[in-house]
Amino acid sequence: MSQKTRQIDRGVALDLAELTPGEMETLAADLGAERFHGRQVFRWLHRRGIADPGQMTDLPRTLRARLAATVTVRTPQIVSDLRAADGTRKFLLGLADGARIESVFIPDTPALTFCISTQVGCAMACSFCLTGRMGLVRNLTAGEIAGQVRVLAGATGLLERPFNIVLMGMGEPLHNYDETMKALAIIHADDGLAVSPRRITLSTVGIVPGLDRLATEPLMPNLAVSLHATTDEQRSRLVPPNRKYPLADVLDACRRFPLKRRSRITFEYVLLDQVNDTPDDARRLVRLLNGLKAKVNLIPLNPAPGIPYDRPSDARVNRFAQILAERHVHVSVRKSRGLDIRAACGQLIVDGGPRRSSGQQAAVLMR
């Protein structure tokens, strides 16, 4: 008897959304069915968006009845769906325990892209990010992370179409490492949405142990590192985890990171007016990235109430980008999407439930 079946026997409703294809097969066998029926269940749930076992019509009737009696599927529920003038959609999703998160659909980027959350809130406390002001409420489970993709794909009519995923919503993915990687395995599975790792980008502030673990994964997404500064003094003010993982350590981990021949690490850099957007900052950034297969994504700040910085002028943004380009750094400037519904980078914030105390947050951060 597997651990999953023991959970059922204890009267605890097993959540199918949390299971990988292999775990689904084991569950089917434990319930007296053939193992391949487990993959059928997985396909119904993740590829077709059907959560009711009674509607899984190619399963044996006895298995459907046993599933209906013993398992559940906890799917994030759409609370609101706001649509911006540029086509961006911001979804407020309710979770089973009452917590709420935000996820974003961004069309024409040039691909169709889902921006997904990995935590309720965030412990990183970056000073230009609204999510960081929430603190960390809790980690999301693998089923809740993958469930966002399933829900957004269904709501946008993309269950049968290719799309990209960026783990750039609420939370730090490497701070919720195991659940994030299990979610990626669920999203990637052939019997589900079958999203290629080439279509998935994981964004991190640079949790060095997490970067080193990620470097060994068989399923490896594209990597984006949120840099945002060119000196440790400056970055520690903007990105507090820099006090534990300074620039040199983060960049060394990036140099160790295995890349395919044509791949590059994306370094994200939020430009703050008169803070980190000077020509000297641009030249230091070039030196920091020397020898790395890198591209830089410049993100002019998306202002929001409570954020103590301003967006630099287009002239300052262009000058910064020009300095990088002249020194042969691959550079792009991100176009802000969904500003009118506060769906742009750094603007996701909800009432996620009870906030941890500052002491608890610090303990989580420095683990």
Per-residue pLDDT at 312: 95
Q: In Å, how far are 110, 130, 183, 192, 294 from 22, measured between CA atoms?
A: 34, 38, 14, 12, 36
Give the lowest-confidence range in 72-81, 213-222, 235-244, 327-336.
327-336
Q: Domains in the chain, ordered, with CATH? A: 3-72 (1.10.150.530), 77-365 (3.20.20.70)
pLDDT, averaged across the chain: 89
Residue 5: pLDDT band (50, 70, 90) is low
How far apart CA 175 and CA 197 sit, in angstroms, is 20
Length of the chain: 367
Catalytic residue numbers? 102, 345
- Residue 309: how many CB atoms within 10 A of its CB? 18
Burial bucket for residue 58 (CB in 10 Å: 0-12, 13-18, 19+): exposed
Q: Which residues 6+ apart lie within 8 Å of 325 measured at CB? A: 331
Where b means 16+ CB within 10 Å and e means fewer, 193-229 reads bebebebbbbbbbbbbebbeebeeeeebbbbbbbbbb
Give mean pLDDT, residues 257-281.
94
* pLDDT at residue 13 tops 70: yes
Confidence at 17, pLDDT banded by 50, 70, 90: very high
- Integer Cα distance of 160 and 172 in angstroms: 29
Strands 100-106 and 113-115: antiparallel
The predicted-structure confidence for 317-365, as pLDDT tens digits, reads as follows 999 999 999 999 999 998 765 455 454 454 455 554 544 433 333 222 2
**pLDDT tens-digit profile of 54-99?**
999 999 999 999 999 999 999 999 999 999 888 899 999 999 999 9
Single-letter amino acid code for the residue at 216: T
For the segment 38-49, what is each residue's pLDDT rounded down to a tens digit? 999 999 999 999
Q: Is pLDDT of 275 > 90?
A: yes
Residue 339, pLDDT score: 55
Which stretches of the chain are DSSP H helices?
3-9, 21-30, 36-46, 61-70, 130-134, 142-155, 177-188, 208-214, 232-238, 247-256, 279-288, 314-326, 358-365
Dihedral, CA of residue 82, residue 85, residue 88 and residue 89, to nearest 10 = 10
Please report, for residues 68, 173, 214, 267, 289, the alpha-carbon distance to residue 295 in angstroms, rounded to integers and kept in the order given: 49, 21, 19, 6, 9
- Report the b/e string of 247-278 with b at 16+ CB within 10 A: beebbebbeebeeeeeeebbbbbbbbbebbbb
**Encoded tokens for 290:** 């020397």
- Coil, helix or strand for 122? coil
Nearest residue to 352 via CA among 138, 41, 159: 138
184: tokens are 């990626």
Q: What is the DSSP secondary-structure string of 312-345?
A: PPHHHHHHHHHHHHHTT-EEEEPPP--GGGT-ST
SS3 state at 265 = strand
Give pLDDT, residue 355: 42
Q: What is the pLDDT of residue 162?
A: 93
pLDDT tens per residue across span 116-144: 999 999 999 999 988 888 899 999 999 99
Q: 16-25, 195-204, 242-251, 301-310: which has the minimum mean pLDDT?
A: 301-310
Percent of all residues in the chain with a pLDDT value above 90, rounded to a whole number:
80
Give the model's pLDDT for residue 4: 55
Q: What is the DSSP string of 50-82?
A: ---GGG-TTS-HHHHHHHHHHEE----EEEEEE
Q: How many other CB atoms are there within 10 angstroms of residue 310's CB atom?
A: 12
Element (H, E) at 83: strand 77-83
